[in-house]
Structure 1
């Protein structure tokens, strides 16, 4: 049986979330927009779930819009916000955003928007000063991720938000990787995106939050579901399971954070004697998610390391699952100063609540074995 080290890509559903999903599928199967009693059960389940998510992010209940996942939350939130902004055509984002937003911003450029892609500093972070210097008279929106999925760096989104609020510029942040890992205070941000399957909830469900004071217009006019935010019958059982997983992980957040720090330190220590062959990219970055550990294997492509690790019973990755198969080096690794050859030597280890010290010890032995056998 494989030992799983790819929790940043997706997590297994928790038993509690599964139980609630089955219960909701049996009892809250009605269309939440239907006016009869069966629909009312679903509507009340939906309302309760909305309250749970809003409380966790310190947001307003009526600002929560459920989606089919983080990618849809990103795209629909940004486009809906842009729809509410007239004339201004400048957008600021980063070179390290998730592929859902990176490709979407590239498409917006073809539609007449001018997009500035900020590169992180030497610590992998986007600073408020960088945002300040990139602002233009016609800046419509800024979208900067909270936590990076490939190198784990955390951006100071509250500080950036304060800067933008003074200038009355809309700010969106992709919080998919940080939701459930570190605190998020949506009161300081105009819009955020989150997902269920990163926190032991179901796939195919996420949410966008837009502060009710912020103007937006629907992606598709005339849409009725989720207050016009998106079309399609709402998946109430999945949303109930998402809210359950979110509630559970928020209670465990501090304990899990400390758990990840301990495991991360253990892996770094075990690999230290081989630092000339295996380097941990973000050990000098002070603001990082401890559950994401990016490695570079000197002279060995990450794809080879991943396949060999899989052969020895370890499931690791070569970066964001949404970019695997594109045959391109990690944009995040390139953005922090590595060249293309080095970026192709990148491997990501990501930890979960079921990861143990024994798992880390076994992983280190496999990685060291791969390096030593490759040299031979």
Structure 2
């Protein structure tokens, strides 16, 4: 089986796995313990904090380790809202479920009002539409950086400038883009962001949040003693160490990996040339596109059917964000783009990883051509 679902999760990097075992057997102390074994674990934890902060170009005092992107988004939103008056939130229709569910909870329990913005045809939040949505009581703008289904990157720097001008806080879910593009300018444009280890070859159940140290926030959980009150629970230091190693490795080859993904993208799309009038790819300009993610529709073929057929041919693809799998509703990204009904259900996602070869991408494209031609009974191969 050849894997094309890296946007859902990645295999654990071998060096990261070795670090996990070493840390779990040699740095097993609780970081809150005052004895030497606890102090050794805490020192390792703080080294990881410094490294993640350096990759993001921020100060380590703003880094908090979490169990992943969902927890990070939940806690960051609550922290920012505790630091800012106002009952209005601006977000996007295509946000991750951890964002939308958190905001829904806020509307039900604390009477926040929400404006959810669509995408334009390039898969972006329109800045003028965002500007027009701002109210006097707008406290937070919550926009994901990298879309998990079509790979478009939102203009977070521009959004940050606008928010600063209006004295509004900004949170950005950077789970899909961390490790695929340099986030230092993004990190300097927001008040908080979240990342998740398993999206860049770290272990599952790891992540981090950056919150600007200037903010005076309150944690969601009362009397939490870990991470300066940001979250409760003993930290998984071995997993955090492994995540940090994985992050360092992908950042060392950021440009090289970017070129690799573009080559794979071009190879895959070229292989679809025989059915060029039978599919639609959702994309934007190269500078605002994560090349590792291709979101597309094969006209007249339901995405789930295409996914199952690809699986039969030996390729693992998806029908969109893993967090939406099994739900009856259409892809949030398709909804944000104004695509609905049967057309929305045609959506599939192809996502490449470091292990994907040019030949793999070509073979997948050729297999999709065979599936389409056979299904449509046109020039069956």
Scaled by the length of structure 1, what TM-score is found? 0.97
Q: Per the alignment, in what secondary structure is the counterpart of residue 198 of structure 1?
A: helix
User: How big is the shift at 1:284?
Assistant: 6.4
In structure 1, the residue matched to 2:96 is: 98
User: Where does residue 225 of structure 1 map in the other structure?
Assistant: 226
- Alignment-derived partner of residue 341 in structure 1: 342
Aligned to 2:174: 175
Aligned to 2:268: 267
Structure-to-structure mapping, 1:320-331, within 5 angstroms: 320-331=321-332
Question: How do residues 37-52 of structure 1 correspond to structure 2 at under 5 angstroms?
Answer: 37-52=36-51
What is the rounded CA distance, in whole Å, between the counterparts of 1:292 and 1:225 in structure 2? 36
Say whether the 8 Å CA contact 1:127–1:156 is kept in structure 2. no
Question: What is aligned with 1:157?
Answer: 156
Contact 1:334–1:340 (Cα < 8 Å) also in 2: no
Tell me the SS of whatever aligns to 1:322: helix
Cα distance in 1, alignment partners of residues 158 and 84 from structure 2:
23
CA drift at 1:368: 1.0
Mapped contact 1:24–1:236 kept (Cα < 8 A): yes
The answer for the alignment partner of 2:295 in structure 1 is: 294
In structure 1, which of residues 86, 89, 98 is the aligned counterpart of residue 87 of structure 2?
A: 89
Return 5+ residue gaps in structure 1 as ranges: none
8 Å CA contact 2:152, 2:289 repeated in 1? yes
Q: Gapped runs of 5+ residues in structure 2?
A: none
Could you say what secondary structure the match of 1:348 adopts?
A: strand
| Correspondence 1:1-376 to 2 at 5 A | 2-86=1-85, 88-111=86-109, 112-185=111-184, 186-282=187-283, 287-376=288-377
Cα-Cα RMSD: 1.2
Q: CA deviation at 1:105?
A: 1.4
Q: How many residues align?
A: 374
Scaled by the length of structure 2, the TM-score of the pair is: 0.96
Task: Measure, in 1, the Cα distance between the counterparts of 2:372 and 2:361.
Answer: 17
Deviates more, 1:35-44 or 1:127-136: 127-136
Q: Structure 1 residues 355 and 284 mapped into 2: Cα distance closer, same or farther (>3 Å)?
A: same
- Residue 122 of structure 2 contacts residue 282 of structure 2 at CA under 8 Å; is this kept in 1? no
1:361, distance to aligned residue in structure 2 (A): 1.4
- CA offsets, 1:331-362, max 9 Å, x none? 10121122221110000000000110110111
The whole-number CA distance in structure 2 between the counterparts of 1:168 and 1:234 is 34
- 1: distance between equivalents of 2:189 and 2:376? 51
Cα distance between partner residues in 2 of 1:188 and 1:287 = 16
1:148-190 residue CA offsets vs partner (Å, 9 max, x unmatched): 0011111110111011112221110000000011111222211
Q: Distance in 1 between matches of 2:269 and 2:166?
A: 42
SS at match of 2:324: coil
SS of 2:361's equivalent?
helix
